[in-house]
Amino acid sequence: MNLDDLPIRDDLRGKSPYGAPQIDVPVRLNTNENPHPPSAELVADLAEAVGRVSGELNRYPDRDAVELRAALADYLGHGLTTAQVWAANGSNEIIQQILQAFGGHGRSALGFEPSYSMHPIITTGTSTEWIHAAREEDFSLDPGKVVAAIGEHRPDVVFVASPNNPTGTAQPLETIEAILDAAPGMVVVDEAYAEFAREGTPSALTLLPSHPRLIVTRTMSKAFAMAGTRLGYLAAHPAVVEALLLVRLPYHLSTLTQTAALVALRHRAELLGTVDALRRERDATVDWLRSKGLAVADSDANFVLFGRFPDRRAVWEGLLARGVLIREVGPPEWLRVSIGTGEEMAAFRAAMEGVL
Residues making contact with ligand PMP (CB under 6 A): 32, 90-92, 116, 161, 165, 190, 192, 219, 221, 227, 232
Q: Nearer Cβ to ligand PMP, position 300 or 344?
A: 300
Identity of residue 17? P
109 contacts 155 by C-beta, under 8 angstroms? yes
How far from 164 is each of 54, 61, 119, CA to CA, in Å?
38, 34, 12
Least Cβ distance, residue 116 to ligand PMP (angstroms): 4
CA pair distance 36, 53, nearest whole angstrom: 26
296 contacts 286 by C-beta, under 8 angstroms? yes
Q: Which of 216, 206, 226, 217 is nearest to 266 (CA)?
A: 226
Least Cβ distance, residue 222 to ligand PMP (angstroms): 7
Q: Nearer Cβ to ligand PMP, position 233 or 309?
A: 233
CA pair distance 22, 108, nearest whole angstrom: 32
Least Cβ distance, residue 192 to ligand PMP (angstroms): 4
DSSP, res 108: E
Strands 232-235 and 214-219: antiparallel
Beta bridge partners of 324: 27
Burial environment of residue 56 by CB neighbours within 10 A (0 to 12, 13 to 18, 19 or more) = exposed
266 contacts 239 by C-beta, under 8 angstroms? no
Least Cβ distance, residue 93 to ligand PMP (angstroms): 7
Least Cβ distance, residue 102 to ligand PMP (angstroms): 17
283 contacts 89 by C-beta, under 8 angstroms? no
Q: Nearer Cβ to ligand PMP, position 71 or 161?
A: 161
Q: Nearer Cβ to ligand PMP, position 135 or 322?
A: 135
Q: Nearer Cβ to ligand PMP, position 220 or 315?
A: 220
Phi and psi, residue 36, nearest 5°: -90, 120
Least Cβ distance, residue 336 to ligand PMP (angstroms): 10
Q: Nearer Cβ to ligand PMP, position 282 or 322?
A: 282
Least Cβ distance, residue 292 to ligand PMP (angstroms): 26
Q: Nearer Cβ to ligand PMP, position 116 or 130?
A: 116
Sheet holding 334-338, edge to edge: 295-296, 303-307, 334-338
Identity of residue 51? G
Q: CB count, 10 Å around CB of 347? A: 19
Q: Nearer Cβ to ligand PMP, position 219 or 258?
A: 219
Least Cβ distance, residue 92 to ligand PMP (angstroms): 4
Residue nearest ligand PMP, Cβ-based: 90
